């Protein structure tokens, strides 16, 4: 089951479970659409896999299967990783 991480690893933008702006790779690294599209050019800086829209878990399932609260943030941002 997906973690549904709560933020962008690059800019720390909040990405709640219902966000249509969340992008993930196959390892569930999570980025906002802005960072994924502009800074990262659609490629995960951690695994070099592609970034795709994260599925939205139905609100009725969040009670039993809550989203993660663990924030992953690279204080240095992702620009250096994308270069």
| Domains defined for the chain, CATH in brackets | 1-69 (3.30.40)
pTM of the model: 0.90
pLDDT (tens digit per residue) in 30-50? 999 999 999 999 999 999 999
pLDDT on residue 77:
74
SS3 81: helix
83 in Cβ contact with 54 (< 8 Å): no
Sheet with 30-32: list strands edge to edge.
Answer: 30-32, 22-24, 52-53
Distances (CA, A) of 2 to 33, 63, 65, 75, 76: 18, 15, 10, 24, 26
């Amino acid at each position: 089951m997906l973690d549904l991480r709560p933020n962008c690893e690059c800019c720390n933008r909040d990405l709640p479970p219902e966000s249509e702006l969340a992008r993930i790779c196959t390892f569930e690294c999570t980025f906002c659409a802005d960072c994924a599209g502009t800074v990262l050019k659609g490629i995960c800086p951690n695994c070099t896999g592609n970034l795709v829209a994260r599925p939205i878990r139905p609100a009725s399932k969040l009670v039993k299967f809550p989203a993660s609260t663990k924030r992953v943030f690279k204080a240095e941002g992702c620009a250096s990783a994308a270069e």
